[in-house]
A = this chain, B = another copy of it.
Amino acid sequence: MARWEPGAYERLRAAALTLFDEQGFEGTTVAQIAERAGLNRRTFFHHFADKREVVFAGQEESEAFIAAEIAAQPAMVDPLHAAVAALQRAAVTMYEKYRGGAELLGRVIAASPELQERELVKRAALAARIAAALRERGTGEPAAVVAAWTAAAVFFAARNRWNQAGNERTLAELMGETLELFLDATLHRAE
C-alpha cells in the first residue's frame, strides 16, 4: 500500500538530500532515508534504483528532451549554438523549478568523491547523446563530439554558478552568458 503513497518521491528525495548533507553521502543508508521520510525501503526502491539515483534522477528523460530540442533547431543554427539552445530549453522547462534545492544538491555533490565521479559519467553520457543528435542533424565527426563536450562544459559551468548561495539569475541566462564569454575569449571578439 505504502508504495503508492502520494508525494512519496518528493519526500524521499528531500529526506535523502538532507541526510546526505548532514552526515555525508557515503555514511547514509537507504533505511535511514526511508525512515526519515516516514516510508519503507520497498517504497524507496520503487522510486530509485539506489541512493545515487536520488542525486541524478531524471537524466534519461532530460537527455531525450535535449535530443528532441536539438532536432527542432533551425538548420542555419551551428551545432554548438543548437546544443546550448537545447540545454537552455531543458533549463527553462525542467531544471529551473529545482532552484530551491540546487544549493543543497551542489553542496552534497561537492562533498562526495563518489558522486563527483558519478557526475563525470553523467556528463559523458550527456555529451554522447548531444553528439548523436548533432550527427543526426548533419554535423560530421569529430566536430559533433567536440561541440557536444563544449556544450556540456557550458552547462556545467553555468550550473556551478547557478547553485551558488545568493545567485538570483536563471540557469538559461547563465548558460547564454557562459557561451558568449567562451566565444569572446576564443575568437578575440571582445578586443
- CB-nearest residue of chain B to A118: B117
| Structural contact, B140 and A145, CB atoms closer than 8 A | no
| Structural contact, B153 and A185, CB atoms closer than 8 A | no
Least Cβ distance of A170 to chain B in Å?
16
- CB-nearest residue of chain B to A78: B186
A68 interfacial contact with B, CB 8 Å: no
| Binding-face segment, A50-58, A88-96, A97-105, A176-184 | A176-184
Q: A117-B121, A120-B124, A121-B117 are in contact. Are A147 and B178 (CB under 8 A)?
A: no
Least Cβ distance of A32 to chain B in Å?
27
Chain A 132-154 interface 0/1 with B at a Cβ cutoff of 8 Å (1 = within): 00000001111111111110111
Least Cβ distance of A176 to chain B in Å?
12
Total contacting residues, chain A, CB less than 8 A: 37
Number of copies of this protein chain within its complex? 2
| Structural contact, B147 and A185, CB atoms closer than 8 A | yes
How far apart sit A117 and B153, CA to CA, in the bound complex (Å)?
18
Among the interface residues A139, A142, A152, A186, which one has the most CB atoms of the partner chain B within 10 A?
A142
- CB-nearest residue of chain B to A158: B142
Complex interface: chain B residues within 8 A of A179 (CB) = 146
Among the interface residues A81, A147, A152, A161, which one has the most CB atoms of the partner chain B within 10 A?
A147
Of B124, B144, B153, the residue contacting A146 (CB under 8 A) is B153
Complex interface: chain B residues within 8 A of A186 (CB) = 78-81, 143, 147
How far apart sit A55 and B188, CA to CA, in the bound complex (Å)?
38
A157 interfacial contact with B, CB 8 Å: yes
- CB-nearest residue of chain B to A76: B188
A165 interfacial contact with B, CB 8 Å: no
Complex interface: chain B residues within 8 A of A145 (CB) = 153, 157
- CB-nearest residue of chain B to A178: B142
Complex interface: chain B residues within 8 A of A124 (CB) = 120
